[in-house]
Amino acid sequence: MLVIITGTSKGIGFELMKQFAQTDVLVLAVSRNIKSVESYIKKNDLTNVLPLSLDITTKSGIDKVAKVCKYLNKPISILINNAGSLIKKPFKKISEKEISEVYKTNVFAPFLLTQAILPFMGKKKGTHIVNISSMGGVQGSVKFAGLSAYSSSKAALCGLTECLAEELKGTNISVNCLALGAVQTEMLSKAFPGYKAPLKADQMASYIYEFAVNGHTYYNGKIIPVSLSTP
């Protein structure tokens, strides 16, 4: 079986790669920078992790993932759309280019990547697409000033999850979305210097791993908050 994870160079994506690497599945670790993944593979003498260096916000990047999936000819059991982009800036100062870049990573990439590899999915029961969103994208949650681009893009990802689950009803594919609360990652530290999140990346990765493997049994088309607070 094949598991695809985006945004594996660091943080939650890197920790997810490590967890799946301990199983017998083949892991396609997608990221612009694959140095950390390559180092981990070499250090642990892994043969079931395939690092793929590309930009999923580009057509060529997405086409490359689809091409590799076709070449591998293995049923995709799990897709985790984890890659994310965050900009913290007052609403009135965010440029068109900046919001475009955030939406390219957080919305367009998951949309187009899922679309591109859908022909290789659903061949077996229990196929699971997991979109990684944020509590900032959930209705009724507390919002942070300066995150209008990030939070609105994550809200769009939540909506996409519900729509895709509806379209894929009757197939072997379930689609769910995890709205994460604060996790101590490099991205969070850059946006909120000095802030200490209640969970580390490896802790959240453990939860996502279990959900990706088993969550399809209980959920489909759901937006699930994963947070100790709101947010």
Residue 172 lies in a domain: yes
User: Shortest CA distance to 105 belongs to which of 33, 140, 154, 142?
Assistant: 154
Q: What is the pLDDT of residue 140?
A: 82
CA angle 55, 30, 224 (to 5 degrees): 105
Spatial neighbors of 135 by CB under 8 A, at least 6 apart, are 141, 142, 179, 180, 181, 225, 227, 230, 231
Q: Measured in whole angstroms, how far is the alpha carbon of residue 70 from the centre of its chain?
A: 21
CATH of the domain at 63: 3.40.50.720
Residue 125's closest CA among 176, 173, 74, 73?
173
Question: How many Cβ atoms sit within 10 Å of the Cβ of residue 144?
Answer: 16
pLDDT in tens, 158-199: 999 999 999 999 999 999 999 998 776 767 667 667 767 668
Q: Count other Cβ atoms within 10 Å, centred on residue 13.
A: 26
Is the separation of the CB atoms in 35 and 29 below 8 Å? no
pLDDT at 34: 96
HSE at residue 139, side-chain half, CA atoms within 13 A, is 4
> Tokens 């379209």, residue?
167
Q: Is there a contact between 136 and 144 (Cβ–Cβ < 8 Å)?
A: yes
- The total domain count for the chain is 1
- On whether residue 155 sits in a domain, the answer given is yes
pLDDT at 183: 74
Q: Distance (Å, rounded) from C-alpha 43 to C-alpha 56?
A: 27
**Euclidean distance between CA atoms 133 and 225, whole angstroms:** 9
Q: Is residue 75 part of a domain?
A: yes
Residue 132 lies in a domain: yes
Residue 131 CB: number of other CB atoms within 10 A?
A: 25
pTM: 0.94
Structural domain including 88 reads: 2-226
Is residue 100, in this structure, part of any structural domain at all?
yes
Q: Is residue 120 part of a domain?
A: yes
DSSP-assigned beta bridge partners for residue 198 = none
| Proportion of the chain above pLDDT 90, given as a percent | 82
Q: Is 231 inside a domain boundary?
A: no
- Look up residue 78 and give its two tokens: 């799990």
Instruction: Please identify every stretch of the chain with a pLDDT value under 70, giving residue numbers as ranges.
Output: 184, 186, 188-189, 191-192, 195, 197-198, 230-231
The pLDDT, as a whole number, for residue 58 is 97
Reference 105, options 73, 150, 39; nearest CA is 150
Q: Tens digit of pLDDT for each residue in 110-132?
A: 999 999 999 999 988 999 999 99
In 168-227, DSSP assigns E strands to 173-180, 183-184, 199-200, 223-226
